[in-house]
Structure 1
Amino acid sequence: MWVWALNPSGLEHALARIRPGGVCTNRQTAPEAPSEAVLGDDGRFHLRGSRMLCSIPERGMPEWVALRQGRERPRSEPLAAWRHEAQLRWWVDEEGRALRSASQTITDPNVRELMAVWHVTVPDDAGVDPGSVLLPQRCPVAPAYLWPPTRSTSPIGMLRSRLAQRFGPRCSLCGVLPGSVVDHDHFDGLVRGLLCAVCNTGLESCLHVDRCPRAVYLNDPPAVALRLNYPSARKTVKELRHAERRIAALGFDPFELLRSKP
């Protein structure tokens, strides 16, 4: 209700689309969680579960993309060599000298594009903890949400480590991907749990009261009993103005009791 308070018509349409007893769309597209990172002969570490998760199978697309599009699970290439692809774009000057990487499309005349293809072989030896691999050493093809966060001594990093020790390193919602985001309540600043980047997206847009996995998590966050404060939870003036507008749209303050607490 709070999310939709500034757009009552949108709220009506959303409630009409979501039938009682339904659940939010499952955005989880990863085939499995990586179990280890292995060093390939290209000098990068690659994620491996039952197969190399960052490779391009024979049918021409990563397995996680095929599953997201509802296609049949693609066959894997032989373990001897795993195919990798990466689309490269860079800016050039008038003399054709490369300046920097670019995200613009190839229609920009100052941008050049190249599809890099290479094959990677890895030893059969046991790998290492994916969280111990530094960012420059990680395979650039694997989706970022498959990689655990790097260890950090920052306030967020220390908080993430504490949650992982208490509840485990995986996402508190899907239980599949590595927990990389410290989720918190944006109104009281209390930490709710450790989520993956996929589950954290659009979490608070869930309009279900119960039964939906997102609603169950929001109704009873696993970390709320720890009373941990998010490091930068203090609201800005702009955020407070948005809160005042929503309260006016609702006609009541849903956080009145919370604000009255010492």
Structure 2
Amino acid sequence: MLRTSAWDGWSGAPGRPHLPSDVPATRSIRPGRPWIGRSLSTGARAEHAGMTSAHHLYALPEHRRLDLKARFPRLTEQQISDQLGRTLQLRGAACARSDKRRGHLPAVAILGSDERWHLRLGTAMICSNAARMFIDLDVPAPTPGTVIPHSFRTRFPNGSVGLERPGYRPDWDVVLTGQEQRPDLVPRAERCPINLDQGDWAPCSVVSRSDWKGRKRNLYIAAAGPMCHACGDSLGQDLHYDRYTELITGLLCNECSSHINECPHPAGCYQADYLNAPPAAHLKERYYVGGNRDDRKRAVGSPAA
């Protein structure tokens, strides 16, 4: 389902951007960037010089203000503050938690007859329905020899099946074996592709020496656990970093990673609590903005990466 919010167009999220009146609409958006890349008008620059209070922005701790200003460098403080105010009206006193979290359920990877690993979440196989929201979590646990129908087509609760999607693999059956494995030990290439990126699979903890994201993710998991460092309800998937310092602050689940920076609250909600004091921020690992880097320790005198 397409998710939209008051910040659509500000953070590059899906949805049609809502342009403030003082941003000229004649310039085209630079490829691959949201509309915040537009130049500000003379009036907007005058506002930035201190003509407005930007009280919603200045209600936030300093490091959050600097992060937001680094995320939206072409916007005035007043524009950012106004958007925070609109989001505050929508969200109320605290950001709401999603009711679709499943991080509390035990998970195990089971080898299938297709030589791929399939994830059992609680008693349900997450690849039993291409639409994650329709997976029945109250079914009996499968046993070795159970046949799991696989399809990239949605199976609806009324029994109907979605249309076949051009370019996708036709339906197939997988027979489960009795071989099990910890999900975080299964490489991505060996995992069943259905619902692979929906947040139920733990990130693979076995990483190559050149995989800087994987290695840094393991450090933050060791410091503050594998669950999302903000909500604590779902498995952490993505590294979150401060755009001003470029330092990694923690590990977030898919849901929190998609919109936590929109949180307008100075304190008093789980998202603000994370942004104010990330539990693993003391590691101060750098996020390599703009490309891959190898930060392995090198011998003295060896050339830098």
Query: Alignment partner for residue 19 of structure 1, among 69, 89, 92?
Result: 92
Q: Give the 5 Å matches for 1:230-245.
A: 230-232=287-289
Instruction: Give me the whole-angstrom Cα distance separating, in 2, the residues matched to 1:204 and 1:133.
Output: 31
CA 164–30 in structure 1, closer or farther in 2 if over 3 Å, else same: same
Of 112, 136, 139, 1:76 maps to: 139
Tell me the distance in 1 between the aligned counterparts of 2:168 and 2:182. 34
Looking at structure 2, the residues matched to 204 and 27 of structure 1 have their Cα atoms a distance apart, in angstroms, of 20
Map of 2:112 onto structure 1: 40
Q: Confirm or deny that 1:85 pairs with 2:151.
A: yes
The residue aligned with 1:147 is 201
Q: Are the equivalent residues in 1 in contact too, given 2:123–2:138 (CA < 8 A)? A: no
TM-score by length of 1: 0.63
Superposed CA deviations along residues 172-229 of structure 1, whole A, max 9, x for unmatched, are 1233433222211111122211222232111100112222111111111112223332
CA deviation after TM superposition for structure 1 residue 74, in Å: 5.9
Q: Distance in 2 between matches of 1:227 and 1:168?
A: 16
> Where does structure 1 lack aligned partners over 5 or more consecutive residues?
68-72, 89-104, 235-262
Deviations 1:71-102 (A, max 9, x none): xx5652672333322249xxxxxxxxxxxxxx
Do the aligned partners of residues 8 and 175 (structure 1) sit closer, same or farther apart at CA in structure 2, a change above 3 Å counting? closer
- Asked if 1 retains the 8 angstrom alpha-carbon contact of 2:149 and 2:174, the reply is yes
Q: Which amino acid in structure 1 is aligned with residue 232 of structure 2?
A: G
- Which of structures 1 and 2 has the larger relative contact order (alpha carbons within 8 angstroms, sep 6+)? 1
Whether 2:119 is the aligned partner of 1:65: answer no
Q: Output the amino acid matched with 1:54.
A: I
Cα RMSD, aligned residues only: 3.3
| CA distance in structure 1 between the partners assigned to 2:239 and 2:167 by the alignment | 38
Percent identity (aligned): 23
Q: Does 1:120 align with 2:188?
A: no
1:159 positional shift: 1.2
76-85 vs 222-231, which deviates more? 76-85
Change in CA separation of 1:178 and 1:7 when aligned onto 2, cut-off 3 Å: closer
What SS does the corresponding residue of 1:48 show, helix, strand or coil? strand
Partners of 1:193 and 1:28 lie apart in 2 by 22
TM-superposed deviation, 1:9: 5.4
84 and 16 in structure 1: CA distance in 2 versus 1, 3 angstrom threshold:
same
Question: SS at the partner of 2:96?
Answer: coil
Q: Distance in 1 between matches of 2:196 and 2:279?
A: 27
Output the TM-score relative to the length of structure 2: 0.56
Alpha carbons of structure 1 residues 140 and 206: separation in structure 2 relative to 1, 3 Å: same
Q: Is 1:217 the counterpart of 2:274 in the alignment?
A: yes
Given residue 258 of structure 2, which amino acid in structure 1 is its aligned partner? Answer: T
Q: 1:175 to 1:53 in 2, by over 3 A?
A: farther
Q: Tell me, what secondary structure is at the counterpart of 2:134?
A: helix
Are the counterparts in 1 of residues 105 and 122 from structure 2 also a CA contact under 8 Å?
Answer: no
Ranges in structure 2 where 5+ consecutive residues have no aligned partner: 1-56, 58-64, 155-163, 292-305
Which structure's residues are more often strand, by fraction? 1
